[in-house]
Chains A and B, each alone.
Chain A
């Protein structure tokens, strides 16, 4: 049944490259207001799953829909935020300021000639305020630290008042202190602003503490858990073998 609160719906999705099947008959329902962590070891098709949800890859069989619309026909991109994995590999010398970067996402709202009016300037300011980067508006993006850049990319999605934000490994290369700030910000977006969050991560320990739902990638399958009852140790054992233990860092 299709309901309005369904943000992402995957039905019997099968996908692979050449002869290797990565996902087989995978089902997943993500509802409004949830915070999902998609976890799994390297090469377990976490990013692939995210790309399927966004229609960047086409499933061999099965169907994917986004906000109730089959992803192939989906056009309301202003309601979707996406922070790709390769964002941290960008050219640090790229000549763009924080405000230029954030206003780039306004494209789908702007009229034919894409004039930057005061209404849009205000949106950019407000988005930067939410992530605490308002003082950096005229800095070049390459001058910022990894954590600051990540917040700018989140602000970039917020100019459109998205219903859902997809993030692919947003915390790789970001220091621990910034990671804490990042999760605090996620909590604000999720709980105060009601934005649904879907985040791919390999850091199972932290994800299980901070998210509401967890999808674990297994061999061609997906296992879904409520974060409250999820036991990371059991999962690690099942993936890596019995001797694996979750080490809590002393910071």
Chain B
């Protein structure tokens, strides 16, 4: 067995990483195509406040982050109605509140080091509880996406036409927002709060370069996500670097290679 697989923590990190590699792009592709990628960034700032709150109250940080991001996603929807002509204001308000609250909670608690591991991701600190939560919630996300795949595809292209084709747009929007909140909360353990949204967007950006059908684009984005996470974790292990950084930089490298190859092939 290669050295990397001999450690229990590394096995847990790889299993959790594979789940994260699959859920981030499958949520990210719909966010990107609907030009909503900022929601990922906004909710991850809120997740930081949840983590800090969880550490302070001695409550499992991932579930606390989940609670915070869910509340925030409903807050975004409410604010969006209030400022319907300036949709991005609702994101800015929620993002600022999240980071503001996080700063206060962190400075109250003195749990800096622990917060640090959530900010940049961690390999060694993935507990069995983390791994099980990630597998369980990750499976729920993948199953829901598979179930609503056609509806989400139609809504990404044209929400009005989807509604008139019988897609329950309001309900699916709500379900999707919940999925985004769960994805961020469970992915931050591996890739870090600051980099979750990158893993949602960059593998999708690479697969969009292929200019294929939606199904191929979707599957390719999962493939690019997996490659980024596995290679990133291996580098993180051997070079003792935070996995968030190595994973995201690997995905950026993949994007650069795909774009370069495409340029060479098309002239």
Chain A residues in the interface with B (C-beta under 8 A): 54, 56, 75, 77-78, 80, 82-84, 86-87, 90-91, 93-97, 100-101, 104-105, 107-108, 110, 113-114, 138, 140, 160
Contact = CB atoms under 8 A, between A and B. Distances in A.
A113 B166 CA distance: 15
Interface in B48-83: none
Nearest to B207: A95
B171 interface: no
Interface residues of B, number: 27
Interface of B: 33, 147, 149-151, 153-154, 156-158, 160-167, 207-208, 211-217
A107 B150 contact: yes
A90 B158 contact: yes
B157 A107 contact: no
A138 B163 CA distance: 25
A78 B157 CA distance: 19
Contacts of B163: 56
A96 B161 contact: no
A140 B161 contact: no
A90 B159 CA distance: 11
Given A80-B164, A100-B153, 20 more contacts: A54-B164, A77-B164, A82-B161, A87-B161, A90-B157, A90-B158, A93-B211, A95-B212, A95-B214, A96-B153, A97-B214, A100-B214, A104-B153, A104-B154, A104-B162, A104-B165, A108-B165, A108-B166, A113-B147, A140-B213
B160 A107 contact: no
A93 B147 CA distance: 25
Given A107-B166, A113-B147, A114-B149, A95 B161 contact: no
Query: Among the interface residues A54, A56, A114, which one has the most CB atoms of the partner chain B within 10 A?
Result: A114
28 contacts: A56-B163, A56-B164, A77-B165, A84-B158, A84-B160, A86-B158, A90-B158, A91-B33, A93-B211, A94-B156, A95-B208, A95-B214, A95-B216, A95-B217, A100-B153, A101-B157, A104-B150, A104-B153, A104-B154, A104-B165, A107-B151, A107-B154, A108-B165, A108-B166, A110-B150, A113-B147, A114-B151, A140-B213
A133 to B, nearest CB: 16
Given A54-B164, A107-B167, A94 B157 contact: yes
B23 to A, nearest CB: 19
A40 B156 CA distance: 32
Given A87-B158, A90-B157, A114-B150, A100 B164 contact: no
B168 to A, nearest CB: 10
Nearest to B153: A104
